[in-house]
Chain A
Amino acid sequence: MQYIKVEDLAFHYEDEPVLENICFEVNSGDFAMLTGENGAAKTTLLRNILGLLKPTKGSVMLSKKNRENKKLVVGYIPQQVASFNAGFPSTVLELVRSGRYPRGKWFKKLDEDDEKHVEKALESVGMWEMRHKKIGELSGGQKQRISIARVFAMDPDLFILDEPTTGMDVASREEFYKLLKHASDYHGKGILMVTHDHEEIRHYANKHIELVRKEGSPWRCFSMDSCKERSKHPSSFH
């Protein structure tokens, strides 16, 4: 099932084009990595997809429904440095629990199943023992882990991740990519991840969207070099 469809997208900051001719899809079961040099407007592209910015030209379709015909739940991890509100008075557990709220729990109490998701998410990033710590007391890498745990606890249909592994060591990154790969292969989750570690991820991702600087443009404008598809794990596409 198609979760994201970007068609001939262009985005300009005032009159300056930064993105042009962007076309790709992310479907249920896809693990797509989005790469490009620093300043290649990768985050801008994600923000267009999420509806935080409006494309200047072209269109973005973000599915309303998941493959079970229920409301599509999107788990978004923004770039850590820009977004993490370290002064926020919250424990790790409170923050990760808040990942369950979009799962129909805005006005309901979290139940046993929700608590299990939260515990599993915290354990998967090795932060269960730190659950009673104040989030402002964590290191950069730990903050990144709990941002990931919050999204894992949400159990979204579509992951949109902006350099989620910044500050994590190699072993933790590998573990994280394996979890994502499992989620896409065995649970049909869609994943779109901005990364600089494409060498590490290429073994896991089945789609590579690469933004490259447009030749001949007087602006620092990026377009798609290619959208390469690799064969998927046979267990996907249920």
Chain B
Amino acid sequence: MFLYGFMQRAFQASVLISLIAPMLGLFLILRRQSLMADTLSHVSLAGVALGLLLGYDPTWMNILVVVVVAGILEYLRKVYRTYSEISIAILMSGGMAVALVLMGLNDSGATVSIQQFLFGSIVTISVQQVWMLLVLTLLIIILYSVFRKAMYTLTFDEETAYTAGLPIQFMSVMFNILTGVTIALIMPIVGALLVSAILILPAAISIRLSKSFNGVIFIGIVVALFGMIMGLVGSYYLGTPPGATITLIYIAVFSVIAVFK
């Protein structure tokens, strides 16, 4: 299996995604933004559709659109503080609607490309995508190491974080943007429909297994590595879609832990 270049790249990408997913996933869960990943992945589709319509590189157009929407998301989260899921509903449906309209306007056969972004294809990952993921992973690990304490305080309680002197608005927007860029980069690999599962499930599983904050991140990485690699191997031998296979393995692990813990 490892003799194939595409499988080597798929495993490299899986390891990198496993390192970043629990870090972002944990903060998304604790900030009650689990669905934000889903929202941004739907918006990503609009970015891709716009890129294809205008003839620009879909990945870069995607990153640009997602970064703008990540900022809007924070604004809406503030406006609808009590019902923050409203912002999710507005942007998720809006993103999908824009994507469909732009696809309708594009008569150059871009539907096939959109399908690829919708369902993802970890086995068609390019060398360039692996390099971009590597840079992103290093960036997230560095940012996590530097801002771990500030993010811990912010996610525990925003008001005490504010009184402790943290720039909570700026941090929230930066976190949303980083999440958006991550989604824009991993969406073509795992697919828009499963991106949030890949980000959220390892942290959701590890939260039940560890008492400490650092422990959740560490166990989350182990769970993510297990799920990604087993999913990839499974999909290779069973001929099933990789993203969906990985997600099912996470859900199986989650179910087993829910029974015993």
Contacts and interface: CB of A to CB of B under 8 A. Distances in A.
Contacts of A78: 157, 159-160
A94 B163 CA distance: 19
Interface in B137-188: 146, 149-150, 152-153, 155-157, 159-160, 162-165
B159 A94 contact: no
Interface string A119-138: 00000000000001110000
Contacts of B30: 85, 88-89
Given A88-B30, A89-B210, A98 B163 contact: no
A89 B156 contact: no
Q: Which of A52, A98, A133, A134 has the most CB of B within 10 A?
A: A98
Given A98-B156, A134-B211, A106 B150 contact: yes
B83 interface: no
B212 A102 contact: no
B151 to A, nearest CB: 10
Interface in A30-79: 50-52, 71, 74, 76, 78
A95 B156 contact: yes
Contacts of B163: 50-52, 74, 76, 160
Contacts of A105: 149
By secondary structure, the A interface counts as: loop
Interface residues of B, number: 24
Contact of A76 (B26, B160, B212, B215): B160
Given A51-B162, A134-B211, A160-B163, A90 B149 contact: no
Interface residues of A, number: 25
B80 interface: no
By secondary structure, the B interface counts as: helix
B97 to A, nearest CB: 33
Contact of A50 (B26, B162, B214, B215): B162
A101 interface: yes
A91 interface: yes
Interface in A149-195: 160
B213 interface: yes
Given A52-B159, A78-B160, A101-B164, 9 more contacts: A50-B163, A51-B163, A74-B164, A76-B163, A85-B30, A91-B211, A98-B153, A102-B165, A106-B149
Interface of B: 26, 30, 146, 149-150, 152-153, 155-157, 159-160, 162-165, 207, 210-216
Interface of A: 50-52, 71, 74, 76, 78, 83, 85, 88-91, 94-95, 98, 101-102, 105-107, 132-134, 160
